[in-house]
Amino acid sequence: MTNSLCYQRLKHLRLAERLYSQAPPSNPKKQDDNWKTIDMVGPPDPVSNLRPVAFAKPQTETEVEKEFREAREATQEWNNKFWSEHNARFIAERKEFQSKLKAEGKESVTADEMSVFYKKFLDSNWKNHVNYNYSWYKQNIKILFLEVRVRLSKMKFK
Protein backbone atom coordinates (compact mmCIF):
# COMPACT_ATOMS: atom_id res chain seq x y z
CA MET A 1 0.00 0.00 0.00
CA THR A 2 1.33 3.44 -0.84
CA ASN A 3 1.98 6.03 1.85
CA SER A 4 -0.66 8.40 0.48
CA LEU A 5 -3.31 5.65 0.53
CA CYS A 6 -2.39 4.73 4.11
CA TYR A 7 -2.58 8.41 5.07
CA GLN A 8 -6.02 8.78 3.44
CA ARG A 9 -7.37 5.72 5.29
CA LEU A 10 -5.93 6.96 8.57
CA LYS A 11 -7.43 10.40 7.96
CA HIS A 12 -10.82 8.80 7.19
CA LEU A 13 -10.66 6.65 10.33
CA ARG A 14 -9.82 9.65 12.48
CA LEU A 15 -12.71 11.62 10.98
CA ALA A 16 -15.11 8.73 11.57
CA GLU A 17 -13.80 8.35 15.12
CA ARG A 18 -14.43 12.05 15.80
CA LEU A 19 -17.93 11.92 14.33
CA TYR A 20 -19.06 8.88 16.27
CA SER A 21 -17.25 9.52 19.54
CA GLN A 22 -18.87 12.91 20.11
CA ALA A 23 -21.53 12.92 22.78
CA PRO A 24 -24.99 13.60 21.34
CA PRO A 25 -26.28 17.11 21.88
CA SER A 26 -28.54 17.62 24.90
CA ASN A 27 -31.20 19.21 22.70
CA PRO A 28 -33.06 16.34 20.90
CA LYS A 29 -34.24 18.68 18.11
CA LYS A 30 -30.65 19.65 17.36
CA GLN A 31 -29.60 15.98 17.42
CA ASP A 32 -32.27 15.07 14.85
CA ASP A 33 -31.10 17.89 12.59
CA ASN A 34 -27.47 16.71 12.82
CA TRP A 35 -28.35 13.16 11.81
CA LYS A 36 -30.18 14.41 8.72
CA THR A 37 -26.87 15.56 7.24
CA ILE A 38 -25.20 12.13 7.09
CA ASP A 39 -26.17 8.77 5.61
CA MET A 40 -26.83 6.10 8.24
CA VAL A 41 -26.26 2.38 7.64
CA GLY A 42 -28.36 -0.18 9.48
CA PRO A 43 -27.83 -3.82 10.36
CA PRO A 44 -28.08 -6.45 7.60
CA ASP A 45 -31.53 -7.58 6.54
CA PRO A 46 -32.03 -11.20 7.68
CA VAL A 47 -33.23 -12.41 4.25
CA SER A 48 -31.49 -10.21 1.66
CA ASN A 49 -28.29 -9.83 3.74
CA LEU A 50 -28.04 -6.22 2.55
CA ARG A 51 -27.47 -3.34 4.94
CA PRO A 52 -30.16 -0.66 4.54
CA VAL A 53 -29.05 2.94 4.23
CA ALA A 54 -31.05 5.90 5.50
CA PHE A 55 -29.92 8.61 3.10
CA ALA A 56 -29.37 12.12 4.42
CA LYS A 57 -32.08 14.62 3.56
CA PRO A 58 -30.76 18.13 4.16
CA GLN A 59 -33.23 20.96 4.71
CA THR A 60 -31.76 22.92 1.80
CA GLU A 61 -32.00 20.02 -0.66
CA THR A 62 -32.18 21.18 -4.29
CA GLU A 63 -34.25 19.45 -6.97
CA VAL A 64 -31.16 17.77 -8.43
CA GLU A 65 -30.08 16.55 -4.98
CA LYS A 66 -33.59 15.26 -4.32
CA GLU A 67 -33.61 13.38 -7.63
CA PHE A 68 -30.20 11.90 -6.80
CA ARG A 69 -31.31 10.80 -3.30
CA GLU A 70 -34.58 9.33 -4.59
CA ALA A 71 -32.74 7.39 -7.32
CA ARG A 72 -30.41 5.94 -4.70
CA GLU A 73 -33.37 5.04 -2.46
CA ALA A 74 -35.27 3.42 -5.34
CA THR A 75 -32.19 1.41 -6.34
CA GLN A 76 -31.70 0.28 -2.76
CA GLU A 77 -35.34 -0.85 -2.49
CA TRP A 78 -35.15 -2.66 -5.86
CA ASN A 79 -31.89 -4.34 -4.88
CA ASN A 80 -33.25 -5.42 -1.49
CA LYS A 81 -36.42 -6.80 -3.09
CA PHE A 82 -34.46 -8.81 -5.67
CA TRP A 83 -32.10 -10.36 -3.11
CA SER A 84 -34.89 -11.04 -0.60
CA GLU A 85 -36.86 -12.95 -3.23
CA HIS A 86 -33.74 -14.70 -4.56
CA ASN A 87 -32.49 -15.77 -1.13
CA ALA A 88 -35.95 -16.90 0.02
CA ARG A 89 -36.25 -19.01 -3.14
CA PHE A 90 -32.75 -20.39 -2.59
CA ILE A 91 -33.47 -21.35 1.03
CA ALA A 92 -36.78 -23.01 0.11
CA GLU A 93 -35.26 -24.99 -2.76
CA ARG A 94 -32.27 -26.00 -0.64
CA LYS A 95 -34.54 -27.30 2.14
CA GLU A 96 -36.59 -29.20 -0.43
CA PHE A 97 -33.43 -30.74 -1.93
CA GLN A 98 -32.12 -31.73 1.50
CA SER A 99 -35.45 -33.24 2.53
CA LYS A 100 -35.55 -35.31 -0.69
CA LEU A 101 -32.10 -36.70 0.06
CA LYS A 102 -33.11 -37.50 3.64
CA ALA A 103 -36.28 -39.21 2.36
CA GLU A 104 -34.03 -41.43 0.25
CA GLY A 105 -32.38 -42.62 3.47
CA LYS A 106 -29.38 -40.27 3.71
CA GLU A 107 -28.69 -39.17 7.30
CA SER A 108 -26.48 -36.24 6.33
CA VAL A 109 -25.98 -34.34 3.12
CA THR A 110 -22.42 -34.16 1.79
CA ALA A 111 -20.70 -31.20 0.16
CA ASP A 112 -20.60 -33.09 -3.15
CA GLU A 113 -24.36 -33.61 -3.06
CA MET A 114 -24.92 -29.95 -2.21
CA SER A 115 -22.66 -28.89 -5.10
CA VAL A 116 -25.10 -30.62 -7.46
CA PHE A 117 -27.91 -28.50 -5.98
CA TYR A 118 -25.87 -25.27 -6.18
CA LYS A 119 -25.03 -25.84 -9.85
CA LYS A 120 -28.65 -26.66 -10.69
CA PHE A 121 -29.89 -23.59 -8.81
CA LEU A 122 -27.39 -21.27 -10.51
CA ASP A 123 -28.15 -22.72 -13.94
CA SER A 124 -31.90 -22.35 -13.47
CA ASN A 125 -31.49 -18.72 -12.28
CA TRP A 126 -28.86 -17.70 -14.82
CA LYS A 127 -31.24 -15.51 -16.83
CA ASN A 128 -32.45 -13.76 -13.65
CA HIS A 129 -28.86 -12.94 -12.70
CA VAL A 130 -28.06 -11.61 -16.18
CA ASN A 131 -31.16 -9.39 -16.09
CA TYR A 132 -30.28 -8.26 -12.56
CA ASN A 133 -26.73 -7.34 -13.58
CA TYR A 134 -27.97 -5.41 -16.62
CA SER A 135 -30.48 -3.47 -14.52
CA TRP A 136 -27.93 -2.93 -11.74
CA TYR A 137 -25.40 -1.38 -14.12
CA LYS A 138 -28.08 0.73 -15.79
CA GLN A 139 -29.31 2.11 -12.45
CA ASN A 140 -25.78 2.78 -11.20
CA ILE A 141 -24.88 4.68 -14.36
CA LYS A 142 -28.00 6.82 -13.86
CA ILE A 143 -26.97 7.45 -10.23
CA LEU A 144 -23.45 8.32 -11.33
CA PHE A 145 -24.71 10.94 -13.80
CA LEU A 146 -27.04 12.39 -11.16
CA GLU A 147 -24.13 12.66 -8.73
CA VAL A 148 -22.06 14.47 -11.36
CA ARG A 149 -24.97 16.89 -11.87
CA VAL A 150 -25.19 17.47 -8.09
CA ARG A 151 -21.48 18.14 -7.80
CA LEU A 152 -21.51 20.50 -10.79
CA SER A 153 -24.48 22.41 -9.37
CA LYS A 154 -22.64 22.83 -6.06
CA MET A 155 -19.59 24.18 -7.88
CA LYS A 156 -21.68 26.93 -9.46
CA PHE A 157 -22.71 28.29 -6.05
CA LYS A 158 -19.17 28.59 -4.70
- Is pTM beyond 0.75? Reply is no
Residue-wise pLDDT for 14-43, tens only, equals 555 554 454 444 544 444 555 567 889 999
Residue type, position 20, single letter: Y
User: Which H or E run includes 41?
Assistant: strand 40-41
Q: Are 84 and 76 in contact (CB under 8 A)?
A: no
45/84 Cα distance (integer angstroms): 9
1/123 Cα distance (integer angstroms): 39
Q: Are 52 and 87 in contact (CB under 8 A)?
A: no
109 backbone dihedrals φ, ψ, rounded to 5°: -100, 130
Alpha carbon of 107 to those of 52, 110, 118: distances in Å? Answer: 39, 10, 20
Residue-wise pLDDT for 56-99, tens only, equals 888 888 999 999 999 999 999 999 999 999 999 999 999 999 99
Q: Are 87 and 48 in contact (CB under 8 A)?
A: yes
Query: Could you tell me which of 157, 3, 149 has the C-alpha nearest to residue 67?
Result: 149
